[in-house]
Structure 1
Amino acid sequence: MTDNLHRLAKGKIKDQIVASCAIRSDVISNLPINVTEAILMKLPTRDAVRTSILSRRWRFIWTKLPQFIFDEAMWSQLEVEHSVHITVTMILYQLLSSHEGPMSKFTLSVPGLDSCPEIDNLILFLSRNHVEDFTLEMWEDEYLLPSSIFKCQELRHLKLWSCRIRTPPLFKGFCRLTSLRLIDVTISAEALRHLISSSPLLELLELTSIICIDLYIDSTNLRTFRFHGFTNSMIFKRVPLLASVSILQEDESTGTIDFKGVGCNLAKFFDCFTFLEYLHLNYQIIQSLAVVDLQTTLVHLKHLKLSSICFNKMVEVSFILSLLRSSPNLKSIKIKFRDAPFSDSKKTTTYMEGQDYSDIHLSRLTQVKLDCFTGTKPEMEFTRLLLAKSSRLERLRIKPGKVVLDNGCKILKEVTKFRRLSKEAEVIYVG
């Protein structure tokens, strides 16, 4: 009797589990198509494709998804039996032959990927399917973009890595493009100029590891500009909304940049940046600009970052002091120092000690970071200046360079003796 009850109970529990699973299965199967697509959009591409085994209804839903991200994360999850070329070719073939509807976003970034005809077919496919966000990162070869890329007139975001770009003669630009990122790309100065100026909605322009002999920026809607490469000349013509600027000349280059040109000359370089809020420069750029004092008050500048700065160099120190005088609303300063052979430390120290700092007001400065700090006399004098002029300073962090780690206690002891205008100022020595 007892055994029968146990069997009956187990049978009822099993029936309840089956019924519950059936209800859940029905719930999943009967979800509206927009809900199922929204669910798949939240999943990694590999998992979205794998949902095809859930049911007959779910089998082909992934083929209608408007985005496909084939990146390093997805590649690491695949059980690859063939070479990168063969595997990518197979996946792209299956995708292009199965997909239905628009493809608004596509990312192809696989380690070891080199050019193949399937990528040309992919770009042609995207040009016919309303792509808005396209990322292509090549690794091995410098891939020549096919002309079909210039037919993607609904593009809003474009990121290209290790490609060659040749704009066709009749190309009139991307009328909807808002962000353009070019990394290790080969493109002529004329083609780049045309690409920028003919994209009227462009807000973000990033040029990394790029060589462009003459760089010409004419973009009335541009808000963010980042450059890290090599150029002989740089001209800003119409950039009234530009708020974030990062210009880093490659370390290998020894010459200065010529900023002279139409609408902008050396003495009025910052006149182009009416609403500048963030500025990042390295010492090569400072050497190009420091010949003439600033003529503009940068009332909107809030964040200043300087890389590879040597405070034993007169030309760099004079420029930075001039920049502080012209930036009364700075909130944060980050400087990474560097050593320089044949420097004029004594001359720089004498210059700084003889300065009248009454016209420097840092009443809004709250955060300061000084990296690779070596403890030279000019660096210490600059630290003293920041503490004495910053009434709202909250934190000054010093991170030493490798050559002065043993003298850290001596540097910290001296810095803590400096007068602080802010009672809340905290000095932190990392190391």
Structure 2
Amino acid sequence: MQAQRRDRITTLPQTIIEIILCLLPIEEAARTSILSREWRYKWTTIPKLVFYQSTVQTSTKEITVKRPRIMKQRDWWNLSRLESERRAKELRCKLFCAIHQVLLLRQAPILDFTLSIYTHHKCYEIDQIILHLSRNHTVMKLRLDFWGESSYRLPSSFFLLRHLTDLSLERCDIYHEPIFNGFGNLTSFILKQTIDL
């Protein structure tokens, strides 16, 4: 009985399996690789990738900072702020590591890509992700949702994403070259707190 259930799912058409896997968070979709040999690389062909900073979990061995009795309130606030910044940096590193691992294991085009993260004016890790997408994939839907103290400046490789049909940008600085003629296939364009330079 158990073997029959496994066979029913495994024998579904690849497009149906991809639809099912697209409904899962990317971490859960990747975990399906442990089901069997047939499922080992099925998650690497899903055309939609979504990465949210909020989904990255911190390790269970987090350092808790206890406030010494003789420490002044101002010193405690500084220590607490430094600890929260350290944790935020750790989460960002985990997220970028996960994104790079997923991109390296890709066996099919990425058609839909979402990234939601705290960022600064310039972030070389995001620049590299956009460069990779522009060179190796036919991205049609792109959502970049950033938050932070300053807007993220899109790299020049962003303008090489010629197949875009749906684009959503939040807190981005757009600086385009005079030779850029626009995205010819764009049908949906959403800008939130975005600056065109």
Q: TM-score over 0.5 for the alignment?
A: yes
Alignment match, 1:71: 52
- Are residues 1:92 and 2:92 paired? no
Counterpart of 1:174 in structure 2: which amino acid?
A: F
Alignment match, 1:105: 112
Q: Take 1:89 and 1:79, find their aligned partners in 2: how far apart are those partners?
A: 13
The 8 Å contact of residues 68 and 106 in structure 1, kept in 2 or not, is answered as yes
The 8 Å contact of residues 146 and 172 in structure 2, kept in 1 or not, is answered as yes
1:155, distance to aligned residue in structure 2 (A): 0.4
Q: For 1:52-100, what per-residue CA distance to the aligned partner results, in whole angstroms no more than 9, with x for missing partners? A: 221121121111111111136xx34x42235232122211211221112
Structure 1, unpaired ranges of 5+: 1-19, 189-431
Q: Take 1:41 and 1:102, find their aligned partners in 2: how far apart are those partners?
A: 14
Q: Take 2:119 and 2:40, find their aligned partners in 1: how far apart are those partners?
A: 29
Q: For 1:328-383, what per-residue CA distance to the aligned partner results, in whole angstroms no more than 9, with x for missing partners? A: xxxxxxxxxxxxxxxxxxxxxxxxxxxxxxxxxxxxxxxxxxxxxxxxxxxxxxxx
Q: For 1:85-128, what per-residue CA distance to the aligned partner results, in whole angstroms no more than 9, with x for missing partners? A: 21222112112211122111111013x34453221121112223
Q: Take 1:106 and 1:48, find their aligned partners in 2: how far apart are those partners?
A: 15
Q: Take 2:145 and 2:92, find their aligned partners in 1: how far apart are those partners?
A: 14
Q: Take 1:96 and 1:116, find their aligned partners in 2: how far apart are those partners?
A: 18
1:162, distance to aligned residue in structure 2 (A): 1.3
- Are residues 1:174 and 2:183 paired? yes
Q: For 1:166-199, what per-residue CA distance to the aligned partner results, in whole angstroms no more than 9, with x for missing partners? A: 11121111100112112111213xxxxxxxxxxx
Counterpart of 2:7 in structure 1: which amino acid?
A: D
- Are residues 1:62 and 2:43 paired? yes
- Are residues 1:43 and 2:24 paired? yes
Counterpart of 2:58 in structure 1: which amino acid?
A: V
1:165, distance to aligned residue in structure 2 (A): 0.8
Larger RCO (CA under 8 A, 6+ residues apart) = 2
Q: Take 2:30 and 2:106, find their aligned partners in 1: how far apart are those partners?
A: 11
* Residues 105-124 of structure 1: pairs in structure 2 closer than 5 A: 105-110=112-117, 112-114=118-120, 115-124=122-131
* Residues 17-36 of structure 1: pairs in structure 2 closer than 5 A: 20-36=1-17
Counterpart of 1:22 in structure 2: which amino acid?
A: A
If the length of structure 2 is used for normalisation, what is the TM-score?
A: 0.76
Alignment match, 2:134: 127
More helix by share: 2
* Residues 308-323 of structure 1: pairs in structure 2 closer than 5 A: none
1:38, distance to aligned residue in structure 2 (A): 2.0
The 8 Å contact of residues 92 and 118 in structure 1, kept in 2 or not, is answered as no
If the length of structure 1 is used for normalisation, what is the TM-score?
A: 0.36
Structural RMSD (CA): 1.8
The 8 Å contact of residues 51 and 99 in structure 2, kept in 1 or not, is answered as no
Off by >4 Å, runs of 4+ in structure 1: none
The structure with the larger Rg is 1
Counterpart of 2:157 in structure 1: which amino acid?
A: S
The 8 Å contact of residues 84 and 113 in structure 1, kept in 2 or not, is answered as no
Q: Take 1:56 and 1:176, find their aligned partners in 2: how far apart are those partners?
A: 39
Counterpart of 1:147 in structure 2: which amino acid?
A: S
Structure 2, unpaired ranges of 5+: 60-86
The 8 Å contact of residues 131 and 158 in structure 2, kept in 1 or not, is answered as yes
Q: Take 2:15 and 2:146, find their aligned partners in 1: how far apart are those partners?
A: 34
Counterpart of 2:161 in structure 1: which amino acid?
A: C
- Are residues 1:184 and 2:162 paired? no
Counterpart of 2:115 in structure 1: which amino acid?
A: L
The alignment-based identity, stated in percent, is 38
- Aligned mate of 2:144, from 136, 147, 153: 136
The 8 Å contact of residues 85 and 113 in structure 1, kept in 2 or not, is answered as no
SS at structure 2 position matched to 1:176: coil
